[in-house]
Amino acid sequence: MIRSLASAAPPPKASRQKKDALFELAARAAIAAEQARSGGVAAVEKAAKAESRRYLRTGLELVASGIDVEAIDLAFAAAQASAAASTAAGDGGPELELRLSLVAVKGIASGEHPYVLMRRMTARLGSEYFEKAESWILERIRRRRVRGDSLVVPGDMPDVVRSLALDKAGLERAIRTAGRDVTAAALAGCPQESVDLAKPLFGKIGGAVLEDDAAYLRSRLSGDEIAQAQSAFLDVVKGLEEGGDLVLGEADSVDEDPAFVAELTRSILGLDAATIKAALRASDGRLLAAAMQGMEPAAHNRILQALPNKDARRILDAIDEADPLPRGAVRSAGRQVASLLLAAAKAKKALKPALERLAAIRDWPD
């Protein structure tokens, strides 16, 4: 249902130069949206102070003052009349800027994801800015590499996600049917592994949005609200299964050997950053990504923090691109990584217990 068509008007015409300037304004607004989600009112106030364009600055000030999203149009009523008059006089620039700023301000006030907001804003500039917006977003993703903390709400959700992930189309159907808002809220209470299984289904940008939204909601929703979202997600899965649209796989084939995961994790947490860096900075990203499927999130963080940013990004890219692997493949990768770590640990004269633990993993039986 194309509801927006009936009420929307064509975007006013503006010069290329004005549109380029508005692209920059959209980028600043998207960054403000990002900061607002992590820094709250203080971040919005700071962005308002730094903003030179009147409409966006005023809008940010209104958001910082706690204005209701519904009241934003009303607050700009006089400005809308004046901008429309400019358009009638042949200059659509002010009206285009106002419309774009209103989209920005409403998005920031409602906590919309900055990349979705960037898409919305730049749509007003025409399809020729689509690729430019995409490049901008991808660059932000490339630079932003933060693995969120996990908050695990007890329940079946992680196991169900793992089972669904055996058939990617099945997991995707469940997520799309549940809706991204419900899914992000449900994933907010899952280990990072669940997010890692879901996000490749939506490409780099969509995956980053899902991961960010889950992290954002983790800090905003109560445990009960997250549990409700998980219950709603599981109801959707059940409904799809009963309707024959979905078949839950047997999780065992990707489920890791808990003893192996615990031991590999403990070994990595027991190593110093220099040893990890020496062993893994030049390692094959795909190998490490596969091995990381057999580690707990604490070990992921330990490795990524030990590596230089460039190498950490390379590994994270490989994780994004990796499919969930069967137990045997993960274990094999884990053994190879243990072997690399063991060589580095010996060279750094690590303590005997650390060496023994790594050797045990290297020789872990099938």
Partner 1 sequence: MIQWNADLARRLACREEEKRALAPLIRRLMELDRKARSSGFLSLEEELREADDPLLAVGLRLVMEGLSGEALEDILATYLLAEERSGWPFLKACVIVEGLIALAESDDPSFMARKLVAYYGADRALAVLEELERPEPATPAAGR
* Residue position matching structure tokens 């649209």: 245
The reply to whether 139 sits near partner 1 by the rule CB under 8 A is no
- Given a contact cutoff of 8 angstroms between Cβ atoms, the answer to whether 247 and 241 are in contact is yes
Instruction: List the interface residues with partner 1, window 203-242 (CB under 8 A).
Output: 203, 205-206, 209-210
Exactly one of 168, 238, 266, 346 binds partner 1 (CB under 8 A); that residue is: 168
The reply to whether 321 sits near partner 1 by the rule CB under 8 A is no
Q: Cβ 49 to partner 1, closest distance in Å?
A: 29
CA–CA distances in Å: residue 162 to residues 2, 166, 240, 254, 334: 36, 7, 16, 8, 19
Q: Cβ 46 to partner 1, closest distance in Å?
A: 26
Residue in 157, 141, 231 with CA at minimum distance from that of residue 195: 157
The DSSP 8-state label assigned to residue 249 in this structure reads P
- How is residue 303 written in tokens? 């490795």
Q: How many residues does the chain have?
A: 366
Rg, the chain, Cα only: 24
Q: Helix 327-347 and helix 273-280: axis angle, to 10°?
A: 120
Q: Cβ 195 to partner 1, closest distance in Å?
A: 13
- How is residue 349 written in tokens? 């004269």
Q: Cβ 9 to partner 1, closest distance in Å?
A: 7
- In the bound state with partner 1, the residue whose beta carbon lies nearer, of 61 and 167, is 167
- In the bound state with partner 1, the residue whose beta carbon lies nearer, of 152 and 201, is 201
Number of residues counted as binding partner 1 (CB under 8 A): 37
Q: How far apart are CA 217 and CA 225, in angstroms?
A: 10
The reply to whether 58 sits near partner 1 by the rule CB under 8 A is no
- In the bound state with partner 1, the residue whose beta carbon lies nearer, of 122 and 293, is 122
Exactly one of 84, 152, 155, 202 binds partner 1 (CB under 8 A); that residue is: 202
- In the bound state with partner 1, the residue whose beta carbon lies nearer, of 4 and 222, is 4
- In the bound state with partner 1, the residue whose beta carbon lies nearer, of 193 and 211, is 211
The reply to whether 310 sits near partner 1 by the rule CB under 8 A is no
- In the bound state with partner 1, the residue whose beta carbon lies nearer, of 120 and 277, is 120
Q: How far apart are CA 228 and CA 246, in angstroms?
A: 22
The reply to whether 142 sits near partner 1 by the rule CB under 8 A is no
Residue window 6-45: x/- pattern of binding to partner 1, with contact defined by CB under 8 A: xxxxxx----------------------------------
* Residue position matching structure tokens 């192996």: 260
Q: Cβ 134 to partner 1, closest distance in Å?
A: 8
The reply to whether 5 sits near partner 1 by the rule CB under 8 A is yes
The reply to whether 169 sits near partner 1 by the rule CB under 8 A is yes
The reply to whether 112 sits near partner 1 by the rule CB under 8 A is yes
* Residue position matching structure tokens 């923090």: 305
Stretch that binds partner 1, among 112-120, 258-266, 330-338, 343-351 (CB under 8 A): 112-120
Exactly one of 20, 91, 172, 272 binds partner 1 (CB under 8 A); that residue is: 172
Stretch that binds partner 1, among 35-43, 75-83, 197-205, 285-293 (CB under 8 A): 197-205
Instruction: List the interface residues with partner 1, window 114-133 (CB under 8 A).
Output: 116, 119-120, 123-124, 126-127, 130
- Given a contact cutoff of 8 angstroms between Cβ atoms, the answer to whether 229 and 155 are in contact is no
Rama region for 66: left / alpha / beta (φ>0; ψ in -120 to 50; rest): left
Residue-by-residue DSSP string for 74-142: HHTHHHHHHHHHHHHTT--HHHHHHHHHHHHHHHHHTT--HHHHHHHHHHTT-GGGHHHHHHHHHHHHH
Helix (H, G, I), strand (E, B) or coil at 319: helix
Residue in 132, 145, 126 with CA at minimum distance from that of residue 30: 132
Binding site for partner 1 (CB under 8 A): 1-11, 112, 116, 119-120, 123-124, 126-127, 130, 134, 168-169, 172-173, 175-177, 179-180, 201-203, 205-206, 209-210
